[in-house]
A = this chain, B = another copy of it.
Amino acid sequence: MDTWVDGQPADALSLKDRGLAYGDGLFETIAVRNGSPVLLDRHLERLARGCQRLAINLDHEAVVRELVTCAGDLQEGVLKLIVTRGDSLRGYAFDPSVQARRILSGNPPATYPNTHREQGVRLFPCATRLSIQPLLAGLKHLNRLEQVLARAEWQDGEHAEGLMLDQEGRVIEGVFSNLFLVRDGVLITADLKRCGVEGVMRAELLFQAESLGIPTDITDITLEQLQQADEVFVCNSVYGVWPVHAYAALSWPVGPLTRKLQTIACALLDA
C-alpha cells in the first residue's frame, strides 16, 4: 500500500490529528481504472459538500492534483482519501483558518466473488440502527462506529452485506452500500436527510436512470415497501451493483432494471 500525507510519501500521522481525536474529517473511496479515478467529479462534489458543512478548510486543487497523480501511478485499484481538520488545539474548539490534512492511500483492486454480481447477495438483518442526525446526514464523515458495530454482527460468508434501518425503523442503506428498490417500474432509494451516506454510485445511477426516462423516487422506505418490491439491489463506487436476492425471510428475483443499471456500473468500473 502506497500512502501520502499532503502530497508527500508518508506512512505516519501526527498524534494530534483531529481525525484520530474526534473523527473530525471526511473520506472518499475511489475506484481507479486505466489510471483514472472513476466518477471523480462526483467524489469531489460530495467532498466539497462535506467540507462546507463541517467548515473544513481544504485545498481542493491539491486534492484533485494528488488524486490524478496517484491514480496514474496505481493504474488499477482503489484510492482512499481521508481529509481531517488537521491538528488539534486542546478540546473540541478549532481554529477555522487551519488547513485540512490530506491522507491518500493506494490499494489493489477489491476482490469479491463473481456470484455477488451474477446471482446476487443475501443481506444480513443488522440490529444496529442508524441514529438520526440531520447535521451529518449524507456526508461520508469519519464517525463510523455504527458501521463498525453493524459489520461485526455477522461473520459467515453467506451474507455479503447487511441492511441498516434508522432508529425509527425506516429502511436506509447497507453497511457499505446504498440500497435501491424497483416497484412498478419506478427506481426508489431512501431519502438521506436524517442519516445515511449519499453514495457516489447512488447519485450516478439516479442520474443515469433519469437520462433513460426511468422514473425515480427519493423517499422514506418502510420494511413493508421493501417486501413488496419487484427488484432490490445495492451499489457502491467500488463494486458497482449487486442484485439482492434475499433479506431475512424475504426474497426477490434479479430483475431487468437491476441488470440494466449493473451494466452501466460495470462499464464505469471494469478494467
Contacts and interface: CB of A to CB of B under 8 A. Distances in A.
Contacts of A3: 15
Contacts of A1: 16
Interface stretch (A32-40, A142-150, A205-213, A256-264): A142-150
A15 B152 CA distance: 22
Interface residues of A, number: 55
Contacts of A5: 15
A103 B17 CA distance: 12
Contacts of A175: 92
A27 B94 CA distance: 19
A132 interface: yes
A19 B22 contact: no
Copies of this chain = 2
Contacts of A14: 11-13
A16 to B, nearest CB: 8
Interface of A: 1, 3, 5, 10-24, 27, 54-55, 82, 84-85, 90-94, 103, 105, 107, 110, 128-129, 131-133, 135-136, 141-152, 167, 175-176
A152 B56 CA distance: 12
| Central interface residue in A131, A151, A167, by most chain B CB within 10 Å | A131
30 contacts: A11-B15, A12-B12, A12-B13, A12-B15, A13-B14, A13-B15, A20-B20, A20-B82, A21-B82, A22-B23, A22-B148, A23-B142, A23-B143, A54-B145, A54-B148, A54-B149, A55-B152, A85-B148, A90-B110, A91-B176, A92-B144, A92-B147, A92-B176, A93-B151, A94-B152, A128-B135, A132-B132, A133-B146, A135-B149, A143-B143
A7 to B, nearest CB: 14
Which of A5, A20, A85, A110 counts the most chain B CB atoms within 10 A?
A: A20
